[in-house]
Amino acid sequence: MKKILIAICLLAGSATMLSGCKDQLEEKYFNPDKSTTADVPGLFSAMLNNDRVRPSYWNVRTFLLPHAAVYSQTASFTNGNTAYQQNENYAQGYWNDFYAPTSNGGGPLSLYREMENAYSAMPADQQKTNEVIMKAAMVVLYDEASKMVDLWGDIPFSEAGSLHSNSTITYGKFDDQKELYSTIISGLDAASTYFSTATTNATFSRYDILLSGNVDKWRRYANSIRLRLLMRMSNAEENTAKTEILKMLASPTQYPLVDGGNVAAYNPASSDILLRPLTTNTDNLNSALTEIGSYSAPDYMLNTVMLPANDPRIPVMFDKYGRTTNNVFVPNPTWRAQPVSFTSEQQASTLADYAILDSATFLQNRNMPGIVITAPEVNFIKAEAYQRWGGGDAKAAYDLALRQSVTFYYFLNHLNTTLKTEATPATSVIDAFVNNSSASYTGTDAQKLSKIYTQKWLHFGFLQSIQAWSEYRRTNTPSLTFPVQTLVNYQNPPTRLVYPSEEKTFNPNYDAVRAEDTRTTKIFWDVN
């Protein structure tokens, strides 16, 4: 027992304090049967119970809103000198929450390493039962690791957590980001192949709090994340990405995707990969958004993209009501967002005059799920692939993605059981948006690609702002304007996060990446 506790707490890739680890483990990371040892199914449930995926208060308040959402302008922010400065404590918290179990859910890497250790000690018959769980856990690990690469670049991975296998405390090397992407993409392909013939079992179904043991959805999850990552690296490694993406899209039977069955009015609850909130979760987005002042509608998204297109998502994404600093709601005649150029003083004095995020969809929606990947994203990727390389109908894929995004946001809105929700717009309204608006798939090839990139960015919003920021850096689209701040070295948004201070201090392998640990160094796929 003591060995398990030490093994889960200690990291090979990060120096994380051990305080409170024993209590957290015993409270959260044993299986639901309250067994006296950590086991594969219980650790798998802990891995899925991840508040860095779920839209919990702490994740939204401390990481998404002050970092990725600011750098991608998918949320409003106070226009002050520190607007683009990385918060050291909060960045450290996100880093730790990947490498170790903490109060914000299970650290995917640490828990997976302990799963490997427990799995290797099982007799053959138990390994057979738990193999499908290990494969699913690998998909989750790769998904979360890819986000770490997109945020920081090189990260400790292959050697991180070596204590579990050899009982020796070492510090993990920083794996090359490009090579790690290749490992993840290959691993997801292997997982998809495995799930093509795998069957579920009672243990998997019981402990799989994400997909209830549905092997078809796990296969689609693996393929769709792989598709995302191939497209992300497509400007840096175009030949590889093009070959693999077109192969996947040409073989839907071999590579089924989270695409909503290519139906516009699809059911996100059954099609998308969504992490349901725990019934005991009392957090909501209102507190997080209010505290950090990010409840106002973002300028470019509403004023430049959505209003000119008469976008039917506006009523479920934003409220006309303004909101004062004393949390008094003031009705406005129409939707409009504060200009991003306003000073912090102008922002504070005119809050009531501008739209805010929708209350039913976001601010007071206790049923908001964690969004892993959705059909609209997958179909926007299809549209980009067909537009750049041929092989399919780019317009059809784009139009479908637009319609599905409308469906998705009304789905989120309708999850609210306490506030008045919006009626789904008539087909004619959606048709006009798709076929006869500024969002319609018209123009030059460059303009069409710009619309794909912009609409995918919009669909991500602040809840998937890590993806939005990654895509913004990859495509340089949309054409956002960031007010230049006066704080030295923080005048503009970064192109990556810098490593947390504990990693710099305690991992001797940091010297190998020190030279590139700047906020202006680009991730390998950011070549435009």
Residues 233, 337: contact at Cβ < 8 Å? no
Percent with pLDDT over 90 in the chain: 81
| Averaged pLDDT for residues 237-251 | 98
Q: Give the mean pLDDT of the chain.
A: 90
Q: How far apart are CA 21 and CA 1, in angstroms?
A: 13
Helix (H) or strand (E) segment spanning residue 372:
strand 370-373
Residue, of 318 and 102, whose pLDDT is higher? 318
Which tokens belong to 32?
A: 């639901």
Residues 6+ away with beta carbon under 8 Å from 345: none
Q: What is the pLDDT of residue 169?
A: 58
240 alpha carbon, distance to own chain's centre: 24
DSSP per-residue string spanning 168-198: ------EE-HHHHHHHHHHHHHHHHHHHTT-
Nearest CA to 258 out of 171, 350, 192, 312 is that of: 192
Token pair for 117: 């250790």
Residue 180 burial class via C-beta count within 10 angstroms: exposed 0-12, middle 13-18, buried 19 and up: buried
Q: Are 457 and 472 in contact (CB under 8 A)?
A: yes
Tokens 């001797």 correspond to 508
Q: Averaged over 81-103, what is the pLDDT?
A: 90
CA distance linking residue 46 with residue 55, whole number of Å: 17
Range with the poorest average pLDDT among 138-147, 249-258, 286-295: 286-295
Distance of alpha carbon 217 from alpha carbon 253, whole angstroms? 13
Say how far residue 11 (Cα) sits from the centre of its chain: 24
Counting residues of the chain whose pLDDT is more than 70, the rounded percentage is 89
Q: What is the pLDDT of residue 376?
A: 98
Q: Which two tokens stand for residue 182?
A: 């290749």
Mean pLDDT of 195-216: 97
Q: Does the pLDDT value for residue 33 go beyond 60?
A: no
CB of 68 within 8 A of CB of 497? no
| Spatial separation of the C-alpha atoms in residues 68 and 231, rounded to whole Å | 20
In angstroms, the Cα distances linking 213 to 119, 189, 201 are: 18, 19, 7
- Provide the sign of the torsion angle of the four alpha carbons 393, 399, 401, 403, taken in this order: negative
Q: Output b/e per residue, 170-179; b: 16+ Cβ within 10 A.
A: ebbbbbbbbe
pLDDT at 7 over 60: no
- Asked whether 372 and 275 are in contact (CB, 8 A), the reply is yes
Q: For residue 471, which of 481, 482, 458 has the smallest C-alpha distance?
A: 458
Q: How far apart are CA 180 and CA 316, in angstroms?
A: 39
**3-class secondary structure per residue, 268-324:** HHHHCEEECCCCCCCCCHHHHHHHHCCCECCHHHHHHHHCCCCCCCHHHHEECCEEC
pLDDT tens digits for 273-313? 999 887 655 667 788 888 877 899 999 999 999 999 999 99
CA distance 414 to 400: 21
Task: Locate all alpha helices (DSSP H) within 65-123, ordered by sequence.
Answer: 69-72, 88-99, 108-120
- Range 150-174 average pLDDT: 80
